[in-house]
Amino acid sequence: MLSKQKLDSDIELVGYLGTRRDVSRVLSFAQFRDPQQKFSIQLVSSPTTSVEAHLRLRNLKEWTPVCVKGKLKTRKPPSSADPKLIDDREIMLESIAPLNDLSADIIIKEDTVFPPEQRHLQIRTKEDLRNSLVLRHRITKLARQKLLPLQYIEVETPILFKSTPEGAREFLVPTRNKGLAYALPQSPQQYKQILMASGIAKYFQFAKCFRDEDLRADRQPEFTQLDIELAFAEENEVMREIEGLLAFLWEKVLDINLKGAFRRMTYQEAMSSYGSDKPDLRWKAEIQPVTELLPPEFISMITSLPSPLVEAFKLDLDFSAEETRKFVSSFLDSPEGKPFLENPEGQPAVIIADTSKPLNGFGALGPMAAMTWPESLTPRNGSLLMLQARKNEPFSGGSTALGNLRLALHKAAVAQGGRAPPQGFRFCWITDFPLFSPTNDTDPGQGGSAGLSSTHHPFTAPKTPEDVELLLTAPEKVIAAHYDIVVNGVELGGGSRRIHNADIQEFIFRDVLKMSSERIEDFRHLLDVLRSGCPPHAGIALGWDRLVTVMLGKDSVRDVIAFPKSGRGEDMLVKSPNRLIKDQLDTYHLQLKE
């Protein structure tokens, strides 16, 4: 460290030139930043020491990479200084050599905001962004430190795979062999199951995965997941391993003890109480059924559905009744609120608790309902009661309309000061998902003709022997041996016990999902591996970008990825994807359709 080196010793450093202050024609001060920007030191320049160095310093732009030479001198510490500044030493400049030029059109000031096209300058100049990348590195290193002593083996699996209908859209990589293409892996799922049949008992890797999906704040077309698989294991063993890993990371990085923090909740419980399969448990506002409490005429006002189910939640706010009316009106008029008004099952009913109104504002529910309304759904004065009708049928998908409304209103209320931001971390496991879900227009599924697709992927095992029997008679009722780990409303990852019996796996492909013979043959390699005496196995994948985002309290995974894609899947810095030229099309035997 420079503060420990001898005074008047010769110093040679490389790094970035910082801000400069010209006191007079014969005296200038400048800050010098080390390459990692962990410290800075003051340069003192005068023509009495070196005319050439003095003139050159005064002509260099801030952030120019330089090599400086000089004598280490003592200095009087300033009364206030940057904590990274070495405040008891300075360098009397004897030589400064620029290592590259800084383009004249690049102006870097403390408040300069660089666009995504200049991501390299965002990283260079924004300490918070650099720190996120450093902490991501540390978290990844700690995960390896935890797993390796537990006899896990880190194995890399291929990136060039083949197209198989696992559930998401794939990115295809054409080859020069006409009609043949690789597919980038949606996950290493099949390879890690093959490893389980290969005598690898405990596997992990930080795997790059690729999915051609619609993008949002927590999703990228390419992403990293911590992939884990254990042979001769079942659900509870995997869950215990992950709890140990997460507790280790939270303690080492955030100094938070997660002992006893992992609640377990079924999919049905999560959907009925929170309207989401990834509930944020930091705030209450649980959803409750209220159909039996409401008069038929009120129900007919909020929905045209025959025999609907009506559910409600209360949202306590730090607003007056009048402020809450303005808040709700503004929300429903906003782009965030519009989808709830266009819900084909009916618009939400809004009740505002107001002690100045008859029946405290509950008059719209009818006098009997208003007087017998349960305490657990009675908001305090100025707060909200939201009601929503839906079809009275089993849950499917990841959320309900009322669950989405609950989250959106809470977010808007926090933004406007009506609720305090939630604090801390609340983990839970979501279990007992349906093994199959109705097909839809947005997810490709497995391409079968049964009207069903795998809720997660087609390799997940039925949970119990009774569920195996239901495959023959009522596959829509089969419960999966699947589990998701959720924290603060974010799904960190999901896993399952896998099907290790080839006959059951092929039966699901052929008789349950009703996939074509051609598509089943795409999985022939896996079926043959399972027939080779593959042991029982289970595993999980943690979304590493999401996990780091949550740990660091960031809003988007883009904040913890060095070179993220935009909302349209573009790398704005390198301008990818780019258009194919004719020679490329010819090389790969491709033709563009109009």
Average pLDDT of 45-68? Answer: 95
* The residue type at 402: L
Domain at 9-112, CATH class: mainly beta
pLDDT of amino acid 1: 66
Can you name the CATH fold of 283-421?
Gyrase A; domain 2 (3.30.1360)
Least confident of 251-255, 544-548, 567-571: 567-571
Handedness of CA 228, 229, 235, 236 (dihedral sign): negative
User: Nearest CA to 320 among 380, 231, 259?
Assistant: 380
Q: Pick the residue with more confidence: 118 or 446? A: 118
pLDDT above 60 for 498: yes
Helix (H) or strand (E) holding 120: helix 119-125
Return the exposure string of 293-317: e unless at least 16 CB atoms fall within 10 Å of the residue's CB, then b: bbeeebbeebbebeebbbbbbbbbb
d(C-alpha 593, C-alpha 577), whole Å: 18
Which residue matches tokens 């909302």?
567
Average pLDDT of 277-284? Answer: 93
Kindly list the domain boundaries of the chain, sorted by start residue: 9-112, 129-265+428-583, 283-421
pLDDT of amino acid 80: 73
Report, in angstroms and rounded to the nearest whole number, the Rg of the chain calculated over CA atoms.
30
Which residues, in sequence order, are CB contacts of 221 under 8 Å at separation 6+? 171, 210, 211, 212, 213, 215, 565, 569
Question: What is the CA angle 550-551-557, rounded to 5?
Answer: 45
**24 forms bridges with which residues in the sheet?**
27
Handedness of CA 122, 123, 129, 133 (dihedral sign): positive
Average pLDDT of 113-135? Answer: 95
pLDDT of amino acid 572: 95
pTM: 0.92
pLDDT in tens, 356-384: 988 888 888 888 888 888 989 988 999 99
Helix (H) or strand (E) holding 18: strand 10-24
pLDDT in tens, 162-194: 999 887 889 999 999 999 999 999 999 999 999
pLDDT above 80 for 131: yes
pLDDT of amino acid 111: 84
Average pLDDT of 198-209? Answer: 97
pLDDT above 80 for 3: no
pLDDT in tens, 474-497: 999 999 999 999 999 999 999 999
Beta strands in 75-193 (DSSP E): 85-98, 153-154, 172-174, 181-183
pLDDT of amino acid 407: 95
pLDDT above 60 for 217: no
pLDDT of amino acid 49: 94
Express as a percent the part of the chain with pLDDT over 70.
99
- Average pLDDT taken over every residue of the chain: 93
Average pLDDT of 248-269? Answer: 94
- State the pLDDT confidence band at 110, using cuts at 50, 70 and 90: confident
Can you name the CATH fold of 129-265+428-583?
BirA Bifunctional Protein; domain 2 (3.30.930)
Q: Please tell me whether the peptide bond between 65 and the residue prior to it is cis, using omega within 30 degrees of 0.
A: no
d(C-alpha 559, C-alpha 119), whole Å: 11
pLDDT of amino acid 404: 96
d(C-alpha 566, C-alpha 299), whole Å: 43
Beta strands in 455-573 (DSSP E): 482-487, 490-497, 537-543
pLDDT of amino acid 65: 97
- State the pLDDT confidence band at 216, using cuts at 50, 70 and 90: low
pLDDT of amino acid 43: 97
Beta strands in 401-547 (DSSP E): 427-431, 436-438, 452-454, 482-487, 490-497, 537-543
Which residue matches tokens 């390799």?
459
Return the exposure string of 67-92: e unless at least 16 CB atoms fall within 10 Å of the residue's CB, then b: ebbbbbeeeeeeeeeeeebbbebbbb
pLDDT in tens, 429-471: 999 999 999 887 777 778 788 889 999 999 999 999 999 999 9
**How buried is 416 (Cβ within 10 angstroms: 0-12 exposed, 13-18 middle, 19+ buried)?**
middle
Which residues, in sequence order, are CB contacts of 554 under 8 Å at separation 6+? 132, 560
Least confident of 93-107, 206-220, 299-313, 480-494: 206-220
* The residue type at 176: R
Question: What is the CA angle 136-280-540, rounded to 5?
Answer: 55
pLDDT above 80 for 215: no
